[in-house]
Structure 1
Amino acid sequence: MAESDWDTVTVLRKKGSAAQSKSKQAIITAQRKGEAVETSKKWAAGQNKQHVVTKNTAKLDRETEELSHQRVPLEVGKVIQQGRQNKGLTQKDLATKINEKPQIIAEYESGKAIPNNQVMGKIERAIGMIHYLIDSKSIQEFERTSQGMD
């Protein structure tokens, strides 16, 4: 009988499930009680992010200067557009052919995309322009040959 203490109270209660703790009501209740509440959203949790730009992002964060990633030149975008049109493909058709989103093709053609060798290689093979997208000399050469064909 020495072990039983009538002054201590033991409360047996189940812990709420994860779904309950994520609900808006549970968050408001915890805030009313004065408990610490941390809310954060998962970024791109259920999406398939294939081409994430991780190149030098930590370096860009540390720098105080105005730095940015190099973009695809407009000349390259024009070459992609001409090659795509010569094949009779729309942006969506080309994107489907290389297993990318149509938005990526639009970014490359408008010069807003950050160059990705994997995507550039797929585009080159799909439109049949091997190594035309590599340097500006090849671009100028392509423009001369395509004008001569018209």
Structure 2
Amino acid sequence: MAGAFSQDWEPVVIRKKAPNAAAKKDEKAVNAARRSGAEIETVRKAAAGSNKAASSSTTLNTRKLDEETENLAHDRVPTELKKAIMQGRMDKSSHNLNLLRFLINEKPQIIQEYESGKAIPNQQIIGKLERTLGVKLRGKK
């Protein structure tokens, strides 16, 4: 049985490639040209190596705000919704702010913003509130 298993004790070395090997070669070539007195023309690329093009695409809500000419504000929680949330929480007297926050897994500031009408409506949060409070908050009653 002792000869059935053997271990290989030879060291294994794993190395990564040198970072930016091509950039170092370019730097060396530019420095050599400068030392020889040759004229060097460099071009700086505007967004090279960044992800600005992907992040500059506008979302649906910001595009609506850009196209809007008169009212430049995000949608806020309607008065009916904020009253329904407060009424649902009062009906379930055991649901204080901290318990409701725990049950829907959101920050207490979010619930306060919904009840004060300052929040931007999020259908996922409204759905969580509906399930937890047992009140219909969306659509016709």
Q: Which of these residues, 57, 61, 77, is aligned with residue 56 of structure 1? A: 61
Could you tell me the percent identity over the aligned residues?
58
Deviation string 1:61-91 (CA, Å, 9 cap, x unpaired) is 4655432122111221111111112222112
2:123 alignment partner AA: N
Normalised to the residue count of structure 1, the TM-score between the two structures is 0.48
Can you give the 5+ residue segments of structure 2 that lack an aligned partner in the other structure? 1-34, 36-58
- Structure 2 matches for 1:1-150, cutoff 5 A? 55-61=60-66, 63-87=68-92, 88-129=94-135, 132-135=136-139, 137-138=140-141
* CA–CA distance in structure 1, aligned partners of residues 60 and 109 of structure 2: 21
How far apart are 1:103 and its partner, in Å? 0.7
What is the root-mean-square deviation in Å for CA atoms of aligned residues?
2.0
How far apart are 1:59 and its partner, in Å? 3.9
Residue correspondences, number: 83
Larger Rg, first or second structure (1 or 2)? 2
Can you give the 5+ residue segments of structure 1 that lack an aligned partner in the other structure? 1-7, 9-53, 139-150
Normalised to the residue count of structure 2, the TM-score between the two structures is 0.51
